[in-house]
Amino acid sequence: MAERQGVLCVVQAEIAVCRRCVEAGSIPAANPIFQGDAGMRLMVVGQAPGPATHELGVPYSGATGKTLGRWLERAGFPPGALHERFYLTSLTKCFPGKATGGKGDRAPSAREIGWCRGHLDREIGLVRPAAVVSLGRLAANALAPATRGLPLAEIVGRVWPGERGGHAFVLVPLPHPSGVSHWLNDAANRGRVDLALAELGRLTQGLGGSD
């Protein structure tokens, strides 16, 4: 474990100085954000950091993190578990900026996700989580190929086999908690989130803090 943690620290230091999207003219400034240690049994993979996370430098420190924290409490986790028990990362590690028209944040492009792909592969391959929570359809598709082409309503509420970085895990997809999407306005979709949270609680019963 100590050796894996040492390699992860090197990888995290490399990610922290990555400027690939800036060099490609895709974002004005890089600020890669992630947090956690090798051996954590649980991981969250979101889409990309939001503006509050970008400002504070702490993953999931804005509205998304607050909602996600409440969801985890519904799954049976104690308050604060998001930042204590989960390795926190995303498909792209830098804030992509606001969406055109100002409604919400811009989703990372396929090119940006591709540039950041190796970072996520190495994080997953070294952390080796037993269960991964994905936020939104993009993250679910990136982690579990079987979810591709399906609407979010068919993805959330079940668990999926996931694999990245040579490591297999159980994927528990959730919708993006940012509140921008209207998906959660539908009672049937809120029921799917309840199912997913129950599944997450069941899966994580008995999991320790590290493998």
Q: Does 171 bind ligand SF4 (CB under 6 A)?
A: no
Q: Minimum Å distance from CB 28 to ligand SF4?
A: 11
Tell which residue, 63, 43, 44, 45, has the closest CA to residue 53.
63
Out of 4, 18, 37, 69, the residue judged to bind ligand SF4 by CB under 6 A: 18
Looking at the Cβ atoms of 23 and 154, the one nearer to ligand SF4 is 23
Query: What tokens does 173 get?
Result: 């997809």
Q: Does 54 bind ligand SF4 (CB under 6 A)?
A: no
C-alpha distances in Å from residue 165, one per residue of 44, 72, 135, 139, 144: 15, 26, 19, 15, 12
The neighbouring-strand residues paired with 163 are 168
Q: Does 91 bind ligand SF4 (CB under 6 A)?
A: no
Looking at the Cβ atoms of 119 and 128, the one nearer to ligand SF4 is 119
Looking at the Cβ atoms of 123 and 203, the one nearer to ligand SF4 is 123
Looking at the Cβ atoms of 47 and 67, the one nearer to ligand SF4 is 47
Q: Does 107 bind ligand SF4 (CB under 6 A)?
A: no
SS3 16: helix
C-alpha distances in Å from residue 9, one per residue of 48, 74, 169: 21, 32, 22
Out of 11, 94, 142, 200, the residue judged to bind ligand SF4 by CB under 6 A: 94
